[in-house]
């Protein structure tokens, strides 16, 4: 969520560790806290984007093709 809202749409680089995203562990309380923080930042990003129809500031160089199986 943070990468798309911040890096792609607003041009604010968010550091990311893809491998860690798939191996992260924690408690339910930690997850709830992270989700609440993510929702807060998403709302902040949406409100900061005055022109919701504008093109992304930092579009992905490679967007994998998705297909339904």
**pLDDT tens per residue across span 1-55:** 777 788 887 888 888 888 988 998 999 999 999 999 989 988 888 888 767 777 7
Residue 60 has what pLDDT? 75
Residue 64 has what pLDDT? 60
Is the pTM higher than 0.95? The answer reads no
Residue 66 has what pLDDT? 56
Grouping H, G, I as helix, E, B as strand and the rest as coil, residue 40 is helix
Domain ranges of the chain: 2-48
Q: How far is CA 64 from CA 18, 20, 60, 61, 67, in A?
A: 15, 20, 10, 10, 10
Residue 46 has what pLDDT? 81
């Amino acid at each position: 969520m943070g990468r798309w809202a911040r890096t792609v749409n607003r041009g604010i680089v968010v550091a990311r560790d893809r491998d860690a995203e798939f191996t992260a562990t924690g408690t339910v309380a930690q997850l709830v806290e992270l989700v609440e923080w993510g929702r807060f930042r998403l709302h902040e990003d949406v409100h900061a984007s005055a022109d919701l129809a504008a093109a992304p500031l930092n579009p992905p160089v490679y967007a994998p093709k998705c297909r339904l199986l």
